[in-house]
């Protein structure tokens, strides 16, 4: 509002133009911000930090376009390109919650690189404790990088704050499963399925509980059923592959790992099993 008043009284003042450009960029009006940005001299852009901000906004805008393309096509290359743009934003403004959350989510769910997600989040998660969505991502990153004690504490906290988030609930179930708390894990998954009977994460979780608690034949049958229903799901193939490998069913395990890599090329932990 103050910048708008200054604009009306002195529309050529560089400071006023810079403030209005900044307001436009921060509110997502990139085109309007760019028009104002172009009106400033190079020295004024540097003086008011507009070059830095414009570069970050441009990278974020490019990332949004790549993500939109990725959502449509599912191509890994589009997610990788989006991640590169978000990395630029994150380097220029490491406290920007949008770029941090989005980059971490892409690493976790699309590029299957939990260590990169953890590295992105670890410096900001506890500083931004009020940001529940960021803490959710950090909890998942901790779990997937084998920081299970910290993950369990965090997942219980965010689950209590938002018990309707089935993604968090299913990951809490996995943490409990690996802690051999099978009954608790089953209760978590059953609660999800009562609300959403087709939830894939919960069904995968129950199969995993069966495998970890020694009911491996039951688990294999369930994974095979889930793979048939969801051939594009890498987790069903990967977890089936590990069970088959443990039973020395090498041909079947190789096929399962290859199918998992086909739909999720970033899962490097399975490439070594296929190559061996």
Buried b (16+ CB within 10 A) or exposed e, 57-74: bbbbbbbbebbebbeeee
Do residues 110 and 177 both lie within one domain? no
pLDDT digits (tens, 9 = 90+) for 26-43: 666 767 877 887 888 888
CATH classification at residue 242: 1.25.40.10
Do residues 201 and 221 both lie within one domain? no
Domain residues for 202?
164-214
Do residues 205 and 226 both lie within one domain? no
pLDDT digits (tens, 9 = 90+) for 223-262: 999 999 998 889 999 999 999 999 999 999 999 999 888 8
pTM: 0.75
Could you give the CA distance from residue 199 to residue 184 in angstroms, rounded to a whole number? 18
Give the count of domains, the chain: 3
pLDDT digits (tens, 9 = 90+) for 103-117: 999 999 999 899 999
Do residues 249 and 269 both lie within one domain? yes
Do residues 153 and 170 both lie within one domain? no
Do residues 158 and 89 both lie within one domain? yes
Query: In sequence order, which residues have a C-beta less than 8 Å from that of residue 17 and are 6 or more positions away?
Result: 7, 11, 36, 39, 40, 44
Do residues 109 and 146 both lie within one domain? yes
pLDDT at residue 2, rounded to an integer: 46
> Mean pLDDT for the chain?
86
Q: How far is CA 58 from the centre of its chain?
A: 21
pLDDT digits (tens, 9 = 90+) for 159-174: 999 999 999 999 999 9
Q: Of 197, 214, 231, which marks where a domain is finished?
A: 214
Q: Would you say residue 65 lies in a domain?
A: no
Do residues 137 and 156 both lie within one domain? yes
Q: Would you say residue 116 lies in a domain?
A: yes
């Amino acid at each position: 509002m103050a910048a708008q008043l200054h604009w009306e009284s002195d529309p050529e003042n560089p400071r006023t133009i810079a403030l209005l450009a900044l307001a436009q960029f921060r509110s997502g009006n990139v085109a309007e911000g760019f028009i104002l940005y172009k009106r400033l001299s190079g020295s004024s852009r540097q003086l008011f930090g507009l070059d830095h901000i414009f570069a970050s906004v441009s990278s974020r805008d490019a990332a949004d376009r790549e993500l939109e393309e990725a959502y449509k096509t599912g191509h890994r290359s589009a997610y990788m390109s989006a991640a590169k743009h978000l990395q630029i934003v994150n380097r220029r403004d490491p406290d920007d919650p949008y770029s941090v959350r989005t980059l971490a989510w892409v690493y976790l769910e699309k590029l299957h690189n939990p260590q990169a997600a953890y590295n992105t989040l670890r410096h900001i998660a506890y500083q931004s404790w009020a940001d529940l969505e960021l803490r959710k991502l950090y909890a998942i990153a901790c779990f997937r990088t084998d920081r299970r004690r910290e993950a369990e504490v965090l997942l219980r906290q965010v689950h209590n704050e938002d018990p309707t988030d089935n993604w968090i609930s299913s990951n809490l179930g996995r943490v409990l499963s690996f802690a051999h708390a099978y009954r608790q894990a089953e209760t978590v998954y059953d609660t999800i399925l009562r609300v959403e009977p087709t939830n894939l994460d919960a069904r995968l979780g129950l199969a995993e509980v069966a495998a970890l608690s020694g009911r491996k034949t039951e688990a294999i049958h369930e994974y095979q059923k889930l793979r048939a229903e969801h051939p594009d799901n890498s987790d069903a193939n990967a977890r089936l592959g590990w069970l088959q490998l443990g039973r020395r069913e090498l041909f079947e395990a190789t096929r399962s790992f290859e199918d998992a890599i086909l739909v999720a090329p970033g899962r490097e932990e399975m490439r070594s099993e296929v190559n061996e």
